[in-house]
Each structure stands twice: as structure tokens, then as C-alpha cells.
Amino acid sequence: MAWKGRFRPNNPKKYDGDPTNIIYRSRLELRYMQYLDGNSGVLKWSSEETIVPYYDPTKQRWRRYFPDFIVTTKAKTFMVEVKPHKQCQPPTGTMHQDGRKIRRLIREQVTWVNNQAKWEAAREYCADRKWDFILITEKDLGGW
């Protein structure tokens, strides 16, 4: 089941952007939005409002990366990417499998390489602004 929908914040003034057009693309993103909206320590937040250019090594061209969240607290601003834990680890497997498993492994490897390129660009973007870059997984959110 695909989890995608529109988030309606209880505290729309905290949202840095159009609070009527907040889209989540996973249960993890929805859960994190709920956390941000209800956390009194969060001064403002946005979702996919920032563009970070990065070089895609698989397509060999420049592309645009829209990080999941920018979060501002009294102490710091963070760029946050929410991903399943599996996508934050290098893919495992071998090419000595059936065709379907090989295709899945190749897809996972391409995703891993692209994510690494995006996250490196995000870290540089954040360093220039004295922000922190954070990856959050279901393990950080208590799972589902």
C-alpha cells in the first residue's frame, strides 16, 4: 500500500511555505510531520521547499534534490531526510541470483549511489549555511 497524501497542520503558522499544500510520500514522512507540528521546540519547518543541486553519477548530469525537511529550532537549523533504514545501508546481494533478484539488486545499487550523491551535496549545502544534515529512519521514529 502506497502512503501518500496531504498533511493539514494543527499549527500552520509554524510551516514555512504554503500550509495548505504539504504533501507526504510515506508513513515515515507523515509521522515526522506530526512530530514537527506538535513539537514546541520547533520554531518553523518546511517540506520539499529547498532545492539542492547535485551531480547524478548514474545519469552523468546535474539534477535537483528536494530534501524532505528544513527544521529550525532556537539552537539550530537542520536539513532532514527521512528514509527507510534499508535505503541508508549499502545493498547486499550478489549477481549470482535469478533475473528478478538481479534487477532488484541493480535498482537498489542505483538508489544507493544516487542517495550518496544527494546526501553529500546536502552536507555541503548545510556546511555553507552552518546547518546540520540528519538522516532519520523508522528506527529513530519508533518504527511502524
SS3 assignment, position 26? coil
Contact 69, 32 (CB under 8 A): yes
> For residue range 106-137, what is the model confidence (pLDDT) as tens digits?
888 999 999 999 999 999 999 999 999 999 98
> For residue range 43-86, what is the model confidence (pLDDT) as tens digits?
999 999 999 999 999 999 999 999 999 999 999 999 999 998 88
Q: Which of 14, 37, 81, 83 is flagged as catalytic?
A: 83
Contact 12, 44 (CB under 8 A): no
- Model pLDDT, residue 96: 61
Indicate if the pLDDT at residue 144 is higher than 60. Answer: no
Q: Which of 14, 37, 68, 81 is flagged as catalytic?
A: 68
- Model pLDDT, residue 1: 43
Task: Verify whether residue 83 is a known catalytic residue.
Answer: yes
Mean pLDDT, the chain, whole residue set? 91
Contact 45, 15 (CB under 8 A): yes
Architecture of domain 5-136: 3-Layer(aba) Sandwich (3.40)
> For residue range 82-110, what is the model confidence (pLDDT) as tens digits?
998 888 888 886 666 666 778 888 888 99
Q: Report CA-CA distances (Å) from 43 to 11, 16, 80, 107.
A: 11, 10, 15, 38
Q: Which residue bears the cell 532488484? A: 104
Q: Which residue bears the cell 535469478? A: 98
pTM: 0.87
How many angstroms from the chain centroid is the CA of residue 131?
A: 16
Task: Verify whether residue 68 is a known catalytic residue.
Answer: yes
Q: Which of 29, 37, 81, 118 is flagged as catalytic?
A: 29
Task: Verify whether residue 29 is a known catalytic residue.
Answer: yes
- Model pLDDT, residue 2: 60
